[in-house]
Amino acid sequence: MNCAGSKQGAFYVLEVTGRMDALTSQGFETECLGRLEAGDTRIVADLGGLEYISSAGLRSILSAAKKLKAAGGDLAFCGLSGIVAEVFTVSGFAKLLPVFATRDEALNRS
């Protein structure tokens, strides 16, 4: 799994690629907490390049989202497709967390 990020307006956009499983998912949480420490509380994770996500990956996302929320920010998602989108739907994460079809939607929400 790889995370590449850039500041876009009020949001910090993280492009996540590869596989997010038990071995790698901690990296996502660490990355988000790193942004949180740097002062970015609103993060948009673009999962367009993510091939696979396991339950451990979901746990990592959940943990990061909770911490960002506690700090007054949020963690949104966009670009979900294929198996990742399916996992989000089945697990109900799509209901728990803000999910947008495109990055623009995520950045231009009110």
Residues near another protein (CB under 8 A) are 22, 55-56, 58-59, 62-63, 66, 89-96
Q: Provide the b/e sequence for 63-102 (b: ≥16 CB within 10 Å).
A: bbbebbeeeebebbbbbbeeebbebbeeeebeeebebbee
Measured distance CA(46)–CA(9) in Å, rounded: 15
Nearer to another protein, 4 or 70 (CB): 70
Q: Of 94 and 107, which CB lies nearer to another protein in the complex structure? A: 94
What is the nearest approach in angstroms of another protein to the Cβ of residue 61?
Answer: 9
To another protein, the closest distance from the beta carbon of 7 in angstroms equals 26
CB 103 within 8 A of CB 4: no
- Closer to another protein by Cβ: residue 71 or 94: 94
CB of 51 to another protein, least distance (A): 12
The answer to whether residues 5 and 33 touch, using CB atoms and an 8 Å cutoff, is: no
Which of residues 17 and 54 has its CB atom nearest to another protein in the complex?
54
Among candidate residues 84, 94, 75, 62, the one with its CA nearest the CA of residue 35: 75
Report the nearest approach of another protein to the CB of residue 8 (Å): 26
